[in-house]
Structure 1
Amino acid sequence: MTRSASSPVTDTARRAKAAAAVLAPQPRTVRDGALLAIADSLEARSGEIVAANADDIAKARAAGTSEAITDRLTLTPERIAAIAADVRHVVGLPDPVGEVVRGSTLPNGLELRQVRVPLGVVGIIYEARPNVTVDAAALCLKSGNAVLLRGSSSAYASNSALVAVLRDAVESAGLPADVVQLVPGESRESVRELMRARGLVDVLIPRGGASLIRTVVEESTVPVIETGTGNCHVYVDEHADIEMAVKILVNSKASRPSVCNAAETVLVHAGIADAFLPRALAALCEAGVTVHGDDAWQRAGKDAGTHVIAATEEDWAAEYLSYDIAAAVVPGLEAAVEHIRRWSSGHTEAIVTRDQGAARRFVALVDSTAVMVNASTRFTDGGQFGFGAEIGISTQKLHARGPMGLPELTSTKYVVTGEGHIR
């Protein structure tokens, strides 16, 4: 275990480590009380939060930031009230801490229990709206973890104001304020220091674009739970219901294209292409989606009077996060799976088919965090899965995979009880 030299970042991590030791044994009532205090304080102090947010908005506009990004950055009293409501919702979720994962009595009479315990200190590095600051803190507190928050420099004033409110609230509930801290500094150096605080920070969770995630995964000495980019696929099988397939495709792509569970590629079995492509092109065009297609899609576009851009290898790899989709016709299911294996980010893939054999084959062959059968890729979400909330969607294979709810913010330990047993 390494200990970093003293700096503002490592000093913050040391305080978090000490606060985590105080938080971990607290009962649910104390943690839930802190969350309720947070929700009340957010509403009571929304004026100062909005005032701080105005500084970030002014800087964003001066820098020529797009209105779409600026809107995501904006906090209003109504949005703050919605954030407070989300915190109250977390209060009502089942408490993972202390849950017995498995237990037994061994042949020698020892009682063995594996129980959930907090991870300890969780660092979140994120490029997102300032509501993530509160969401991440609430989920970490609920699961008994101290949290270190490193958001975008573009939201620094907003995040500073939010964390000040959070710290005052948890302290009023009897917990150390240091269970919630903002990582000091706006430079990349502060991020690098956080990534190297091994022994002080137990796990890092990056949330953001592919470049951010890759940097954290490759450069961190702290264990990382990798949240993934979403190059998600919809495969329309030869035996698909065409109307169903069109609805699933449009929902997967266009209901909210800027999120990681939006579809970025559609693959269509050659046996259904003639019937499906004209319907799909019309629906995608109506939804405002630009198709980047192979030769078959380009020919169908000409026949339908719809322009289809010629797809390149960059398109198959793209996470567009926009009203664009890559499209290809494939000889069959095996070819679709081969394409997905080559280009997928391992997030979510969907098959549309009435053939249960094809569905089972697809599910068995596709290795992603979620595989949808006759359902939109947009369902890969902690709330939609019934988890109540999520800290992110993990595309790795260790500890947590898929939407990460409260249980994924815990580890386990074994409790062994004997009556003077010796070996």
Structure 2
Amino acid sequence: MNIKIPRGTQDILPEEAAKWQYVEGIARDVSRKYNYKEIRTPIFEATELFQRGVGESTDIVQKEMYTFQDRSGRLITLRPEGTAPVVRSFVENKLHGQPQQPLKLYYLGPMFRYERPESGRMRQFYQFGVEAIGSDDPAIDAEVIAMAMDFYQACGLKNLKLVINSLGDRESRTAHKDALIAHFSPRIDEFCEDCQARLEQNPLRILDCKIDRDHPLQETAPAILDYLNEESTRYFETVQRLLTDMDIPFVIDPNLVRGLDYYTNTSFEIMLEEPEFGSITTLSGGGRYEGLIEELGGPSVSGIGFGLSIERLLMALEARNALPVVEQGLDAFLVTVGDVAAEKGGALLRELRAEGLTADKDYLGKKVKAQFKSADRSNATYTVIIGEEELESGMVKLRDMSSGEEENIPMNKLASHIKQLKKL
């Protein structure tokens, strides 16, 4: 029986996994510098969390979630995004009671959406995301945006384009919603069924429709920036000043609409702009949310965050040759001569590993020459050669694989000697 991997998923093989570990390491390092702590939430949650948190009118909830009944008849969904689970944990564990606020959190892990698989878009995909919860200060908005930009730059990407917008507070959004309904209602029958359903639920989603994006009414639709009240306008202007102070260039796009219902005020996307490729690729996005924490049973506090695709990041790095070669070589490869040495080799390997060295040996009974080939394929810095003579004398031969030079080393000092050589 030939069982194949599910469509829209991928096996991350060892050589590729090293690249993932590289960018994940940068994500953790940037998070540490910004004082964000890791949070790990379940891969599956109650379906209601995403219905209430993400929004009934979103494509994610209506079309893309992996939902099933467990044996107790409860509706369970594989998480399609990271914010709602983090907020659920924030509320359930009463993290709003911690003295250090806002609470700064980051996550790394798989998400699941039933979408049409294509380049950079998988049904199981991995996200790095952050959430800063508990502050209404626009300075935290600027910090979150700066953190995302710093992460991409630390990974080696250039020509980044930051696009920002404001979706306004509740009052501003209500005024804009009424204007959109009045704008689209006379000709809503010309739009797709999804847009017709969204007209009353969330007409802002019509602006993000992929089917009707070229409809002439899209060009003349009321812009949210024209409906911002004084408070929302002042907030957005402050975010812009803070970004300018940080020397982070940006472009304002009044048509920027995030795909989740919980966004308010600051909204942003980061794109990769490469003139020589003639394309602009969206790498990540995020924004501020108000009301989400209350909706899930928490206090009246707001948050802001972003989520980015690790797959899309790696594609961009590889396409632009910005991903360094990630070495996975061994410190030492043990070459054994004879059955006794092969048997005793395991104990010596354990001693080397206990000292923090990476080490391995042959387990296929290969001849000595073939063992050296294995050492070469393993990109070993040194080979350690032992046979009956070495076991009796307590000495081993240490060969430098780059120069071919050999030296005799006492077996009980082998690990410390290799560690000393690594420092030179």
TM-score by length of 2: 0.26
Give the greater-gyration-radius structure (CA): 2
Using structure 1 for the length normalisation, give the TM-score: 0.26
Higher relative contact order (CA 8 A, sep 6+): 1
